[in-house]
Structure 1
Amino acid sequence: MTSIAFIGLGIMGSPMAVHLQDAGHDVAGYNRSPEKTRPLVEAGGTAADSIADAVRSADVVAIMVPDSPDVEQVLTGEGGVLEHARPGTLVVDFSSIRPDVTVRLAEAARERGLRYLDAPVSGGEAGAKNAALSIMVGGEPADFEAARPVFDAVGKTVVHVGPTGSGQTVKAANQLIVAANIQALAESVAFLEAYGVDLPSALEVLGGGLAGSKVLDQKKQNMIDKSFTPGFRIALHHKDLGIVTAAAREKGVVVPLGGLVAQLMGSALANGDGDLDHSGLLRGVERLSGRLGTDRTS
């Protein structure tokens, strides 16, 4: 049994913390909205009153928060992890943030005697609920092996991809691929509907050929039903594409498709769709085509 502090119990963090508790670990969860700790408590975990309370006796500190400033606050803010975690504690950041910020935070953690892994995940809410996440891990190989029991409780595909920051870099590439696929699927759906094709049948046969993908499998029903309850919100994907374009620019890599999809994601955000699932990019295609209905979920 390992003592784990889990900071951030949202759509992704809550089921991950519950899986860790179910796997036999002793999990203390902290969230700014205290009611979010309920599923963990019902699973036998404990609710911490503060970050300090959660991490003080933890062997592992897991973090799952939205963006780079949030991770910085959790780690370096007053009452944060670096102030209260014991030397030797392993910090595992499951958040998706900028690679350069990760490198800087890892250095700060190591200066305080902590170990640090960046371990962003892919798979969305379904992957978190089913303990089937893909986890791309950056950091020291020995720390990666030490964290294996944690990763195995929440993920299905777990790969050490290189030194600190590598996990975040691979996650940025993941978000570029996913966004491009969702946009292509959305355009195809709008195209098929304009011609009156039976959409479920069309997507079934497309899924059986080279056009098939996990994006099509997981997002086609959202687009068929015009229902975009968030598994992964447009606002967060917009943030991630900003990471992609900024990181690519720093290395002199040209990502024309990434830039275009980032603008389309930004348009969706500007039009009030930020809290919808990223399959809601379909609404952007419909909006540009003059086919968007008045119902916000259609």
Structure 2
Amino acid sequence: MNIGFIGLGIMGAHMAANLVRAGHTVVGYDVSEQQLDRLVALGGKAAGTLGEAVAQAHVVITMLPDSPQVEEVVFGGAGLLEYGSAGLLHIDMSTIRPETSRRVAQAAAVKGIRAIDAPVSGGERGAIDGTLSIMIGGRAEDVESAREVLRVLGTTIVHVGPSGAGQTVKAANQLVVGGIYGLVAEAIVLLEASGVDPAAGLDVLAGGLAGSRILELKRHSMIKREFTPGFRIDLHDKDMGIIIAAAREAGVALPLTGVVAQLIAAAKAQGHGSLDHSALLKVIERINA
């Protein structure tokens, strides 16, 4: 299958590489020449323009930072709607506003392009291993058409509703992830202040009811204060804005989410935006300094 892959960042680079390894022809496009060179070295192809990545593709995957970038790729004069042919399947795996996904799907349908929103969870490790969780919004028949490609990228692939629903589920995912990071950070601060070995303490927590994927993957690096980004604070801050807006649209109050959003905003304001979101620990430490 010919796949255009737009956005070769921390997640997208590994996802595109897995598609190449699975035997697909992958034509990548990114603002970073270095990322394009990496894809070519793995057997993919580099597009000189966005239109070149889209023109011959059966499927176009976008993995971009935020709604404005997706809108530029889709609605821009040299973008997907201009160069995509009828029948093209657009799989947007970015984390963006649900209303943006709905608008993209509506505009694509006018051009005969099938569009689904399929944001992911699992971080860089999941992107490398091809074990991402993928939550999909869109028409059932379009989702089924995407499964061959998505099975290369993830192991949990669930159609959660119409266009935009995937983004709403991703918002719920991000509020839970942020909350757990905040609580793990507080647990580390409590254990250390009490003279208890945090490594031993978190090992016990990870094996009990408090266990989570975050404790499994990140407890040791958090204790060591290693915050190499798998998912950056500044992107999680953007996601918290999406969550707050979604809650307002739905007419619900999410008080714990509000606290987590403020902690993540504080991490960004303190200059930690380029660090992994586990760097919430630095905010909790500063509060207690």
TM > 0.5 between the two?
A: yes
Query: Structure 2: how far apart are the matches of 1:258 and 1:3?
Result: 41
Query: Structure 2: how far apart are the matches of 1:187 and 1:105?
Result: 40
Q: Which moved more, 1:38-47 or 1:245-254?
A: 38-47
Partner deviation per Cα, 1:73-112 (whole Å, 9 max, x = no partner): 0111121111111111000000000001110111111111
Q: Which moved more, 1:105-114 or 1:4-13?
A: 105-114
| Map 1:39-118 → 2, pairs under 5 A | 39-118=38-117
Aligned to 1:7: 6
| Map 1:123-134 → 2, pairs under 5 A | 123-134=122-133
Query: Structure 2: how far apart are the matches of 1:79 and 1:274?
Result: 31
Aligned to 1:168: 167
Query: Structure 1: how far apart are the matches of 2:122 and 2:149?
Result: 17
C-alpha deviation, 1:227, in angstroms? 0.7
| Map 1:79-228 → 2, pairs under 5 A | 79-228=78-227
Alignment-mate amino acid for residue 169 of structure 1: T
Asked if the contact 1:138–1:162 (Cα under 8 Å) also holds between the matched residues in 2, the reply is yes
Aligned to 1:230: 229
Query: Structure 1: how far apart are the matches of 2:275 and 2:220?
Result: 15
Asked if the contact 1:18–1:39 (Cα under 8 Å) also holds between the matched residues in 2, the reply is no
Asked if the contact 1:55–1:61 (Cα under 8 Å) also holds between the matched residues in 2, the reply is yes
C-alpha deviation, 1:12, in angstroms? 0.3
C-alpha deviation, 1:214, in angstroms? 0.8
Aligned to 1:251: 250
Alignment-mate amino acid for residue 81 of structure 2: L
Unaligned runs of 5+ in 1: 291-298
C-alpha deviation, 1:272, in angstroms? 0.3
Aligned to 1:283: 282
Query: Structure 1: how far apart are the matches of 2:33 and 2:85?
Result: 24
Alignment-mate amino acid for residue 227 of structure 1: E
Asked if the contact 1:63–1:93 (Cα under 8 Å) also holds between the matched residues in 2, the reply is yes
Q: Give 3-state SS (helix, strand or coil) of 2:184's partner.
A: helix
C-alpha deviation, 1:213, in angstroms? 0.8
Query: Structure 1: how far apart are the matches of 2:160 and 2:118?
Result: 10
Query: Structure 2: how far apart are the matches of 1:54 and 1:249?
Result: 37
Aligned to 1:273: 272
C-alpha deviation, 1:281, in angstroms? 0.1
Alignment-mate amino acid for residue 230 of structure 2: G
Aligned to 2:238: 239
Query: Structure 2: how far apart are the matches of 1:174 and 1:156?
Result: 16
Query: Structure 1: how far apart are the matches of 2:39 and 2:92?
Result: 19
Q: Give 3-state SS (helix, strand or coil) of 1:226's partner.
A: coil
Query: Structure 2: how far apart are the matches of 1:35 and 1:231?
Result: 19
Unaligned runs of 5+ in 2: none
Aligned to 1:25: 24
Partner deviation per Cα, 1:177-203 (whole Å, 9 max, x = no partner): 100010000000011111121111111
Alignment-mate amino acid for residue 42 of structure 2: A
Structure 1 ranges of 4+ moved more than 2 A: none
Query: Structure 2: how far apart are the matches of 1:135 and 1:150?
Result: 12
C-alpha deviation, 1:39, in angstroms? 2.5
Q: Which moved more, 1:128-137 or 1:210-219?
A: 210-219
Q: Indicate the RMSD between aligned Cα atoms, in angstroms.
A: 0.7
